[in-house]
Structure 1
Amino acid sequence: MKTLFLAPTRNGVGLSSTALGLARALERQGLKVAFLKPIAQTHEAAPDDSVHFARTVAHLSAPDPIPLTVAEEQLSQGGEEELMENVIALARAAAPEGTDVLVAEGLALSDRNGYAGALNARLARNLEADTVLVSSLVDVTPAALADELEIAAQQYRRSDGSGLAGFVLNFAPRELDFGGLMAELRSRSRVLASGELPLLGIVAQNPELAAPRTLDVARYLNAEILNEGDAARRRVTSTVVTARSVPRMAHLFVPGALIVTPGDREDVIMAAALGHLSGTPLAGLMYTSGSAPEESIEALCRAALTSSLPVLRVQTSSYLTATHLSQMTTRVPHDDPERMERMLDFIADRLDTVPLGARLHAPDAGGERRLPPSAFRYELIQKARAAGKRIVLPEGDEPRTVKAAIRCVEKGIARPVLLAHPDRVRQVAAAQNLELPDGLEILDPETLRARYVAPMVELRKGKGLTAPQAEAQLEDTVVLGTMMLAQGDVDGLVSGAVHTTANTVRPALQLIKTAPGAALVSSVFFMLMPEQVLVYGDAAINPNPNAQELADIAIQSADSARAFGITPRVAMLSYSTGESGTGEDVEKVKEATRIIRERRPDLMVDGPLQYDAASVQSVGQSKAPGSPVAGRATVFIFPDLNTGNTTYKAVQRSAGVVAVGPMLQGLRKPVNDLSRGALVDDIVYTIALTAIQATQVVE
């Protein structure tokens, strides 16, 4: 499925109608289209305009958007990632199996939502969408429009140069010199001149499509309806404010004209009545200043004033009424599907979907995705929920761990088991003003140890472990939790909030041991970069692996990446690229790369590569032309622990990137370590990782 994100370049560009019009144009091409408005446009309780018309006119089953109040609250409290995960969930709900294209509409820009432009760019990135920019030819010079499109293109273009699908120009004047406009735009904009941002359509102004019903005008002005007539069907295409004598205005009494007059202008009222009776379908007659015609005039014109001609009255003067009418919004009311139907057909007729054709019909290369961080987190939680695994937490009375366990139960992420005295856990929860849910399992280590002494002696008999020694070691809750895992009483273990990595990993190596075919245990971090999730390995376990071990780490890391939805392109990192450098460290990376290619010819791997050659497309093309990995790497294998740990922490702290992990690889059953500075969310996601790993265990 492809996703197209429609984003405005400024206020008042006709975003909603363009989004729905594009959906209609794509349906005409035989595509199955879904629609999404991720975040509501206003704080109104009524259904969002776009969603309402998507359902009632376009007949698309669009989900309710996230309320704007909720979104703004999350943004103000630093909860952007949670907001993005909720958007991903909405996108999944909007586009069922078999959908070809998801059309997503961003937030329209206004004076009140200065955050909307940056938020739209983040929405497009996390939805893995290509962006259609929507602009307008109203009150803008070609030079200003070119700058506007160029700036917007930079905002939505991804680092690899992708991300732009095209642009649409609305409200074009009928006398537009199309050729001259496009020539000037291309002369001023590189993104237009190169064809990177193709024109998808120019939609002309059409006064008829902007014409409100007389009933809409009455609602807007809070007018008194003296005679409803055809107010729900007639449309106001012009307004005649009476100032001159009737003979000088008679030519303005045309179909769709709303006659605005004081009630004492008997000549105007009689002329309007005569025009109506002669067959001119006026939009209506409106009395101003709270006035009404004399009874004799009203009686004379009764046949017209009580028929299909709408008759309204307002309290404001003719001048003020005309001013209010000039400021009336072009927003289509929810009970006017006819107008929206005509508008969507009008727009769809003028959109050219041919430039989108290759993009929409081409299959993904090898199923490859640039998995954005919010999608990664969303899919992580969904997979963990489906797994339903029992995960033991040996640091059961540690405050962050208790809070994370509660959240896992509440969200159904896993079945956590806290190893701690129940009273102590209750105290910790109470101190944080938390309530322990019924589904949270708390086991007192004192009541468990005895049952694991004999099994532990059996597991370690080759090392001469005695029962008293086993009982003493089981005083450590990490060892106890590891024995629970070894015996199959739980499916995974997460520790490290207060314990060192060695304290977590050592019992696993002794009691769980490595998986079949695994020569060592290594680790990866999932680095949640702004545009996609990358895998770093090994940054936590092996200090100075040799070439064979480095190859093992790379293969394990590639398989982990694939298991979590990331297409592995493995970069074997070094301080030189290709044949540009020599030395023992470079030779180790070269040999490791050779071993990987020999053992796993299915993997895309290249090395040695410098980090910039692996991660930046332009540098990769320059330093390693023709490489399937350079500039596009998703799995980064560091030559030693010093380099890996330093790099991951530098990226994490300097760029504000979330690092999920370390996730251990190569164990027979999943054990995962936490950083002692882990946040509650870090623990939750590590529990989810562990639950998913538990589904991949091969005994």
Structure 2
Amino acid sequence: MTRSVYVTGIGRGDGRQVVELGVMELLTRQVDRVGIYRPLVHDAPDRIFELLRSRYRLAQDEGTVFGMGYEEAAALQAEQGQEALTARLVEGYLRVAESFETVLILGSDFADTNLPAELGVNARLANECGASVLAVIGGREQSAESVAAEVRNAHHAYTNLGCDVIALVANRVDPGEVEEAAELLRRALDVPVYVLPEEPALSAPTVSQIVEHLGAEVLLGDEAGLARDAMGFVFGGAMLPTFLPALTPGCVVVTPGDRADLIIGSLAAHSAGSPPIAGVLLTLDEKPGPDILALADRLAPGTPVIAVATGSFPTAAGLFTLDGKLGAGTPRKAETALGLFETHVDTAELTERFSVARSERVTPMMFEHALLERARADKRRIVLPEGGEERILRAAEVLLRRGVCDLTLLGDEAAIRKKAGDLGIVLDDPAVLVIDPQTSPLRERFAELYARLRAHKGVSFELAYDIVADVSYFGTLMVQEGLADGMVSGAVHSTAATIRPAFEIIKTRPDAAIVSSVFFMCLADKVLVYGDCAVNPDPDAEQLADIAVQAAGTAARFDVEPRIAMLSYSTGTSGTGADVDKVRTATELLRARRPDLLVEGPIQYDAAVSPTVAAAKLPGSPVAGQATVLIFPDLNTGNNTYKAVQRSAGAVAVGPVMQGLRKPVNDLSRGALVQDIVNTVAITAIQAQGDGQ
């Protein structure tokens, strides 16, 4: 039976989209197929549905998502009554519920809806759909006592109408009132109440939204620049020496288009990082000449310069009525919203109250959700040596906004902060450190340590002093010395450059013969573990057995029950030859070393993963047809297979994940996407949470 959650409110301006996004995140961690239903919708494209569809890769037919428009609903209610309206809207819900394990219902928005007794309409729909209610109450510019009273009133209103209220959220509360409001509500109600503070980055419009709202012309700026949040507005009229100190991080400079001094001065300040601005808005239908624009573009590449025809006063009036909005075009705001939700909501408690049964299938998205959730539960510090690389900075922003871990970025601090500023990323979070190995006081300490470790190789202090300035060595030494819990690199460095310092400094675990790697292969309905596809070119039988033991431990650590297939071109006793014999010997060694593990080998790939083939080739095997850990006989086979499955089956490959080191260091593909980096950092943080890897 479909279990549904109805997110609703009591009035406009409650910032409910944050909660809708957070609830969707929790539901998709539990079940494979979540449907969306919005009973009532305005004519314009629905921003929150577009966001959910793009973020969670929804395949739902858009025609099933919406019940009817508000005007049609008001007319139907006026002509035929509440019962007729409710019946029509419930029909729409039932069509969605037929196809999905659970449904997230998005209540009406209380904005220009022309529906009388709108709260009652939402309550009735929730009841008729058999949905539990999560009510959101806006608390902007209210005292703690007022917020608590509004929440109590909302609870009484929905429960008196027969609703199953599983939780309430007070949103957009003044940060100074959050603690007191939460304390008042803990004593007042018998259901969970979560209090979320006002987050300026969510209400700040992006430069792109300003362009759309004002009908502005974009003179300069790239996609990343237009995605920056406008954290404030500074109106320019003074002379440059007086004007520059008024600039604030993330502001939009608003000035007449003929003030070339303020335009160039603002962009020069941005280029110097003091402070990074969101962009420049020119008024009065005045535009700089081509020479000024060319200079502006060289000073701050990508930074938006936009122009409007109106004067400063009407422009200001338009800006101050503009609120930032979550949507498919604002992925960074979505990360901020989720970080806010996950910080202030007891997600484990709320998930339990949903009473949604977890799917047996494990989709790539569910696996990725689980990684972030586990990393967040016991935060660690991860060092990223490639601190000035764009993908690393974008991944760092996601990790920080979601509260996944603390970070240390390595590289030239001024260059990193300038690059971050150009991308609209503000690195003022106390959870992130920026360290330049060239100038860090740690360099001498690390040189002494490295010289001692490599003295048998003739490494002097002077040579070590040069070596440890390399970001890969410096990051590895931070991990070795406990100044970071793990390291992730490889976005621009080779695998050798990433893992060689780990071999020299961190070394292998006492119970590991070699360092090896695995990939988590996230297929449509399950997660498989492939090893070793990245490190060891031609392992012998003993090394293969060791790789299998390590891979089984890694799989179990990430909730994949290990059933090990030792792969070969032959299954069972059907083939002979040196390659098959190596795998057969490795299987025997593995069984002797770990009799508790389920192992089959030699076995062909199809017999390992296909129940039909397994029934013909190895009937009765506890592994054949249901293997979860697949050990390849050599790097050539493993690397080609994982890439073939990744491309042909649309699998998400997470890794390589290094195993066998005393402390976690992981390598990235040089083609890694931002989400790949986020996943790898989360895995590294989880590895660092326990003694074993």
| Coarse TM-score class (shorter-chain normalised) | 0.5 to 0.7
Equivalent position of 1:666 in the other structure: 660
Q: Do residues 555 (structure 1) and 549 (structure 2) align?
A: yes
Q: Does 1:578 align with 2:572?
A: yes
Which of residues 379, 387, 398 in structure 2 aligns to 1:388? 379
Give me the whole-angstrom Cα distance separating, in 2, the residues matched to 1:517 and 1:679: 33
Check whether the contact 2:395–2:674 (CA below 8 A) recurs between aligned residues: yes
| 2:682 aligned to which of 680, 683, 688 | 688
Q: Is the 8 A contact 1:491 1:669 kept in 2?
A: yes
Say what the alpha-carbon RMSD is for the aligned residues: 3.7
1:457 is displaced (CA, Å) by 1.5
Gaps of 5+ in 2: 5-29, 67-71, 88-119, 132-357
Task: Name the CA distance, whole Å, in 1 between partners of 2:477 and 2:448.
Answer: 11
State whether residues 537 and 637 of structure 1, in contact with CA within 8 Å, keep that contact through their aligned partners in structure 2: yes
**Among 509, 512, 515, which residue is 1:518 paired with?**
512
Task: Indicate conservation of the 8 Å contact 1:371/1:565, yes or no.
Answer: no
Which one of 390, 398, 401 corresponds to residue 389 of structure 2?
Answer: 398
After TM superposition, the structure 1 = structure 2 runs for residues 204-603 of structure 1, keeping only pairs within 5 Å, are 220=76, 222-223=78-79, 340=128, 370-439=361-430, 440-448=432-440, 449-603=443-597
Shift of 1:645: 0.6
Q: Which amino acid aligns with 1:646?
A: N
In the alignment, residue 461 of structure 2 is paired with which amino acid?
A
Q: Distance in 1 between matches of 2:511 and 2:485?
A: 20
**TM-score after normalising by structure 1:** 0.53
Cα offset, 1:426, TM superposition: 1.6
Q: 1:446: how far off?
A: 1.8
**Tell me, which stretches of 5 or more residues in structure 1 are unaligned?**
8-33, 47-66, 85-106, 115-215, 225-230, 238-331, 344-366
What is the CA–CA distance in structure 2 between the aligned matches of 1:659 and 1:38, rounded to whole Å?
A: 23
Partner of 1:262: none
Aligned letter for 1:70? I
Once residues 453 and 524 of structure 2 are traced to their aligned partners in structure 1, the CA distance between those partners, rounded to angstroms, is: 45
Distance 1:676 1:333, change over 3 A: same
Query: Which protein shows a greater Rg?
Result: 1
How far off its partner does 1:451 sit? 2.2
Q: Does 1:72 align with 2:50?
A: yes
Q: What is the alpha-carbon distance in structure 2 between the residues aligned to residue 495 and residue 217 of structure 1?
A: 55
Q: 1:374 to 1:553 in 2, by over 3 A?
A: same
- Letter in structure 1 aligned against 2:596: D
Q: Deviations over 1:167-210 (max 9, x none)?
A: xxxxxxxxxxxxxxxxxxxxxxxxxxxxxxxxxxxxxxxxxxxx
Residue 565 of structure 1 and its aligned partner are, at CA, apart by 0.7
1:638 to 625, 632, 636: 632
Structure 1: which amino acid aligns with 2:507?
A: K
**TM-score (norm. length: structure 2):** 0.53
CA distance in 2, matches of 1:589, 1:420: 44
Contact 1:40 1:68 (8 Å CA) reproduced: no
User: Judging changes above 3 Å, is the alpha-carbon distance between structure 1 residues 450 and 579 closer, same or farther for their aligned structure 2 residues?
Assistant: same
Q: Residue type matched to 1:441 in 2? A: L
Q: Does 1:676 align with 2:652?
A: no
Give the letter aligned to residue 664 of structure 1. M
Q: Secondary structure, in 3 states, of the residue corresponding to 1:664?
A: strand
Read off the aligned partner of 1:513 and give its amino acid letter: K
Check the 8 A contact 2:36/2:65 in 1, yes or no.
no
* 1:49-68, Cα deviation, whole Å (9 max, x unpaired): xxxxxxxxxxxxxxxxxx97
Structure 1 position 385, deviation (Å): 0.8
Conserved 8 A contact 1:41-1:68: no
Classify the secondary structure of the residue corresponding to 1:447.
coil
Does the CA contact (< 8 Å) of 1:569 and 1:635 recur in 2? yes
Secondary structure (helix, strand or coil) at the match of 1:40 reads: strand
1:144-159 alignment runs, 5 A limit: none
Seen in structure 2, the aligned counterparts of structure 1 residues 71 and 575 have a Cα distance that, compared at 3 Å, is: farther
> Which amino acid letter does the alignment assign opposite residue 624 of structure 1?
L
Shift of 1:435: 2.6
Q: Within the alignment, does 1:648 sit opposite 2:629 as a pair?
A: no
Q: Aligned partners of 2:549, 2:41: CA distance in 1, in Å?
A: 52
Counterpart contact for 2:437–2:470, Cα < 8 Å:
no
Give the distance between the partners of 1:370 and 1:338, measured in 2 at CA: 28
Residues 625 and 697 from structure 1, CA distance in 2 versus in 1: closer, same or farther, beyond 3 angstroms? same
Residue identity in the other structure for 1:420: G
Q: 2:376·2:403 contact (CA, 8 Å) conserved in 1?
A: yes
Identity percentage of aligned residues:
47
Relative to structure 1, is the Cα distance of residues 333 and 395 closer, same or farther in structure 2, using a 3 angstrom cutoff?
closer
C-alpha distance in 2, partners of 1:39/1:514? Answer: 47
Distance in 2 (alpha carbons) for counterparts of 1:522 and 1:671: 12
For residues 664 and 31 of structure 2, the distance between their equivalents in structure 1, rounded to whole angstroms, comes to: 40
The answer for the alignment partner of 1:628 in structure 2 is 622
Q: Give the conservation status (yes or no) of the 8 Å contact 1:389–1:414.
A: yes
Which residue number corresponds to residue 11 of structure 1? none
CA change 1:548–1:423 in 2 (3 A) is same
Tell me if structure 2 keeps the 8 A contact 1:457–1:470: yes
**Distance change >3 Å, CA 369–CA 555, structure 1 → 2:** farther
Classify 1:624/1:68 alpha carbon distance in 2 versus 1 (closer, same or farther; 3 Å): farther
The equivalences for 1:32-51 within 5 A come to: 38-42=34-38, 44=40
Q: CA deviation at 1:379?
A: 1.2
Q: Please give the alpha-carbon distance, in whole angstroms, between the structure 2 residues aligned to 1:520 and 1:599.
A: 16
For residue 680 of structure 1, report the CA deviation from its aligned partner.
0.8
- Greater shift, 532-541 or 419-428, is seen at 419-428
Equivalent AA in structure 1 for residue 78 of structure 2: N
- Residue correspondences, number: 401
**Counterpart residue identity of residue 50, structure 2:** E
C-alpha distance in 2 between matches for 1:630 and 1:670? 32
Which SS does the other structure have where 1:518 is aligned?
coil
Structure 1 residues 535-573: Cα deviation after superposition (integer angstroms, max 9, x where no partner): 110000111001110000011001100000111111111
Q: CA deviation at 1:74?
A: 4.4
CA separation of 1:112 and 1:459: change in aligned 2, threshold 3 A: same
Rounded to whole Å, the distance in 2 between the matches of 1:659 and 1:647 is: 12
User: C-alpha separation between the residues in 2 aligned to 1:658 and 1:630?
Assistant: 23
* Contact in 2 for aligned 1:380/1:689 (Cα 8 Å): yes
| 1:657 equivalent among 651, 656, 663 | 651
Letter in 1 for 2:531: G
Matching of residues 92-131 of structure 1 within 5 Å: 111=63
**Cα distance change, pair 442–626 in 1 and its aligned pair in 2 (3 A):** same
Query: Which string of whole-angstrom CA distances, capped at 9 and with x for unpartnered residues, describes residues 113-156 of structure 1?
Result: 69xxxxxxxxxxxxxxxxxxxxxxxxxxxxxxxxxxxxxxxxxx
